Structure 1
Amino acid sequence: MFDPTVLGFASIVFLLVLVALGVRIFVAAALTGFLGLLIMRGWTAAIGLAGLTPYAKTADYSFSVLPMFILIGFLAYHAGITRSLFEAARIWVGRLNGGLAVSTVLATAGFAAVSGASTATSAVFSRIALPEMLSRGYSVSISAGVVAAGGTLASLIPPSGILVIYGIIAETSIGKLLLAGFVPGILSAAIYVGTVIIMFRLRPDLGPRGEAHPMLSKLKATKGVSGVAIVVAIILGGLYTGWLTPTETGAAGAFVMLLLCLARKEFTAGKLKDALIETVKVTAMIFAIIWSVLIYVRFLGFSGVPGELAEWVLSLDMNRYTILIMILLFYVVLGMFMDAIGMLLLTLPIVIPTIQGLGFNEIWFGIILVKMAEICLITPPIGLNCFVVHGVRPDIPMSKIFKGAFPFFIADVATVAVLIMLPEIVLWLPEAMSG
């Protein structure tokens, strides 16, 4: 008879080996969890738990918020709203040092407010902003880097898909998580803007200033993106006032975005079909990962590993913030080999009990953790957003993209430090909601 704890730790090693060998996360997690259940409970119990657990955990009305948020982003993209965001930002701030790069950051932040997927944001702006910067003589490395980094803002600014996933696994309030991500997301965008301005001031050769535009042109450009502001107001206003549940805000946001799209001449029935199909594909991919990880999580629960690890960590004679930093560094290393969603899903069942034992707020930790996931999106060797940019522009070497993203890695580290030192930045909005 296998010792459950030993079997649990062995499963972690086995799972990491499978991932390192290139096995898809959902296959690796489901296989490891099923084999663990088979060894511990036998064939009948393993088959029953593997079949029932995913359904029992995710057949919940509240989880429909995820496809709604994804749909908002694809509708905005196919309606051309993303290009309108970039053009509006370019007209307003293009005259600054690194104006087009600043415009890209602001436009990605705006798109993040109607899209929950960071990789989709980077892919979109690789086609919109990157050619514009390169045609104006901007540094190839910085142009690619700012697009890759700007895409990460969709991880924090609501509607954020990864925050919804965190809420599902951590079993905490999705509404409060989404509100908690808003101010840190805006802070991240502001620090990115500051990083760009400093870089271009120190090195004007990175790219020229853009032309100035009259106020009339600025106001006209702003009118073109007013729809985004309406959707953002519905999502944040509905959550903050409590008038709408997270699922209802997702549905209302998607409905209003659909109306805005139908009002645009360039939005056709074919584009609506494309938006719906892409939404289904992304949703199916995410839920496949969630279902498989839930099988593995069920096995881990039987093994007792999460509790054992939490007790061991809490027994260490160390300051709790030192332990927190060690956990975050662990995520930096893990992010070198895994994508953000898989990384969070596989580790949260083990990490959450430790965080609770240390006395940290789960919502605050969720925002910190998602910010760490953002960092992993632009760091080698995985750096998924960098690979997305390279996929759209294969003529730009990966080395240049990672080099261009490095200043934003430094900016992200500074943001994490600020959020750790000033947790009220994260918590004041959700606490005001509960008040």
Structure 2
Amino acid sequence: MPYEMIALLMFSSMMLLLLTGQRVFGAIGFVAVVAAVLLWGDRGGYDIGFAAAIKLMRWYPLLTLPMFIFMGYVLSDSKIADDLYRMFHVWMGGLRGGLAIGTIGLMVLISAMNGLSVAGMAIGATIALPELLKRNYDKLMVTGVIQAGSSLGILVPPSVVLVLYAMIARQPVGQLWLAGAVPGLMMAALFIIYIAIRCRISPNLGPTIDRSELDQITRGEKYRLLLAGLLPVGIFAVMMVPFVNGWTSLVESSAIGALAAFFAAVAKGRMTRQVFETSIRQTLAITCMFMWIILAALAFGAVFDGLGAVKAIENLFTTQWGLNPWVILILMQLSFLLMGTFLDDTAMLVIVAPLYVPLVGALGFDLIWYGVLYTITCQIAYMTPPFGYNLFLMRAMAPPEITITDIYRSIIPFVGVMIVALILVMVFPQIALWLPGLIYDY
């Protein structure tokens, strides 16, 4: 059987298993090992799985994963994120759309604490959404704000998704994080500009807080809230400044961040036994899930390397079909949007990365830059009907008065803003590559 047909059979088998509801790592790993056994016999098949496990265990930067996840859950479960939103509420409530703009700021800081979009969605839906609805904000506006803001978690460092991409694409995590920082902040700024313009045109979408309520808050209370709300910013700075300056390694910085979050919760009297146990359990569960997914992805990629499938597909696109490299890149991004209607970002990455990443390199594109493009495309796919991942998370967490139709309608303008951001990064790669070049001379 031609290798191209074997590769196609592997992909179709994997998608069929995923449609039956099997876990992502189980479907991918099973197809990889079975294909290896059939191609190269028992010894070759077992060696591929074993080699993938050894490679995973020897990848030192993977230690950052549990550290960052633990840091995010400590800050979330100890209610330090509540102080952050209260700060935005007091300082920005007097502006039209100020609470919605503050919610985007909250999401950026939550992303910098956790690196997962689910955490931002949970905090936004439980803390910000009820307050915004109580203040008579338009429900379509606020639902879109929370979904769009939470998607920043997979782009703003320390993004867990970029850690996985670094492992599969064999690229430095630090450079990928720095590459995601400016596009992430740019996207947040575009969200804020859109909210400000919409609320200026239609003030009823984001009314201001009553002046009498703001007058009741003393200047001392405002500054106390400012200090409390900026605590997560201080933790992020304590963690990232030594790393950027080269004083600590990535793993050491992640440990500093986890310890800083823990001691901050202790100092505020919020590190209870329940908070600590919950944070540890959630950290262990998510870390193990990601490790199994990476293990399966490495095994799947090894089979593809052995088949030479990347070379075959590159030859098909560039020689037989004569496609321009940019056309191929755009087709890849469109395929991510399609898969995002029924898969999350991790599943998309491990399914197609063994094929796409080597192909992107062969076409002459920068793999650090492509990691940012992939992540932004995943953000868009997260919010694309009918089965976008964030849409159903929002439906599960939103109050009954927000229907699935409201959720679908709310994301349309924000998806438009994200497409603008994606185009800007594609046309001007230095948006992503400037900061890694400045710090690492990349």
C-alpha change, 1:184 and 1:427, in structure 2 (3 Å) is same
Question: Could you tell me how far apart the structure 1 residues matched to 2:369 and 2:186 are?
Answer: 15
Question: Could you tell me how far apart the structure 1 residues matched to 2:115 and 2:381 are?
Answer: 17
Q: What RMSD over aligned residues (CA atoms) do the two structures have, in Å?
A: 1.8
Match of 1:138 in 2: 137
Match of 2:277 among 264, 273, 277: 273
Question: Could you tell me how far apart the structure 1 residues matched to 2:52 and 2:358 are?
Answer: 20
Secondary structure, in 3 states, of the residue corresponding to 1:113?
helix
Match of 1:247 in 2: 251
Contact 2:67–2:254 (8 Å) recurs in 1: yes
Match of 1:409 in 2: 415
Contact 1:108–1:125 (8 Å) recurs in 2: yes
Consecutive unaligned residues in structure 2, runs of 5 or more:
none
Alignment length (residue pairs): 434
Match of 2:194 in 1: 195
1:347 aligns with 2:352: yes
Q: Quote the offset at 1:192 in angstroms.
A: 0.9
**1:46-102 CA distance string (max 9 Å, x none):** 233224422333432221111111111101101211111111112222222222211
Question: What TM-score does the superposition give when structure 2 sets the normalisation length?
Answer: 0.93
Match of 2:152 in 1: 153
- Matching residue's letter, 1:192: F
**1:391-419 CA distance string (max 9 Å, x none):** 12362322211211221111100111111
Match of 1:392 in 2: 397
C-alpha change, 1:362 and 1:52, in structure 2 (3 Å) is closer
Question: Could you tell me how far apart the structure 2 residues matched to 1:248 and 1:311 are?
Answer: 43
Match of 1:425 among 400, 407, 431: 431
Match of 1:374 in 2: 379
Secondary structure, in 3 states, of the residue corresponding to 1:191?
helix
Contact 1:179–1:240 (8 Å) recurs in 2: no
Question: Could you tell me how far apart the structure 2 residues matched to 1:389 and 1:344 are?
Answer: 23
Question: Could you tell me how far apart the structure 2 residues matched to 1:209 and 1:391 are?
Answer: 28
- Matching residue's letter, 1:313: F
Question: Could you tell me how far apart the structure 1 residues matched to 2:391 and 2:251 are?
Answer: 31
Question: Could you tell me how far apart the structure 2 residues matched to 1:340 and 1:305 are?
Answer: 23
Match of 2:17 in 1: 18
Does 366-375 or 267-276 show the bigger shift? 267-276
Does 61-70 or 381-390 show the bigger shift? 381-390
- Matching residue's letter, 1:357: A
Q: Quote the offset at 1:318 in angstroms.
A: 4.0
**1:268-304 CA distance string (max 9 Å, x none):** 1221111111111111111121112222222222222
Q: Quote the offset at 1:142 in angstroms.
A: 2.3
Match of 1:383 among 382, 388, 407: 388
Match of 1:361 in 2: 366
Contact 1:4–1:40 (8 Å) recurs in 2: no
Question: Could you tell me how far apart the structure 2 residues matched to 1:210 and 1:383 are?
Answer: 33
Match of 1:308 among 300, 306, 312: 312
Question: Could you tell me how far apart the structure 1 residues matched to 2:314 and 2:323 are?
Answer: 14
Q: Quote the offset at 1:172 in angstroms.
A: 0.4
Q: Quote the offset at 1:185 in angstroms.
A: 1.1
- Matching residue's letter, 2:379: E
Q: Quote the offset at 1:353 in angstroms.
A: 1.7
**1:326-353 CA distance string (max 9 Å, x none):** 2211211111121111101211111112
Question: Could you tell me how far apart the structure 2 residues matched to 1:197 and 1:11 are?
Answer: 48
Match of 1:81 in 2: 80
Q: Quote the offset at 1:217 in angstroms.
A: 4.4
Contact 2:175–2:436 (8 Å) recurs in 1: yes
Secondary structure, in 3 states, of the residue corresponding to 2:265?
helix
Contact 2:111–2:120 (8 Å) recurs in 1: yes
1:67 aligns with 2:66: yes
Contact 1:117–1:161 (8 Å) recurs in 2: yes
Question: What TM-score does the superposition give when structure 1 sets the normalisation length?
Answer: 0.95
Q: Quote the offset at 1:106 in angstroms.
A: 0.8
Match of 1:4 in 2: 3
Contact 1:313–1:354 (8 Å) recurs in 2: no
Contact 2:117–2:152 (8 Å) recurs in 1: yes
Secondary structure, in 3 states, of the residue corresponding to 1:265?
coil
Contact 1:69–1:250 (8 Å) recurs in 2: yes
Contact 1:157–1:182 (8 Å) recurs in 2: yes
Q: What is the percentage of aligned positions where both structures have the same residue?
A: 27
- Matching residue's letter, 1:121: G
Question: Could you tell me how far apart the structure 2 residues matched to 1:263 and 1:22 are?
Answer: 44
**1:198-240 CA distance string (max 9 Å, x none):** 2223333324222454765443222002321222223432332
Match of 1:48 in 2: 47
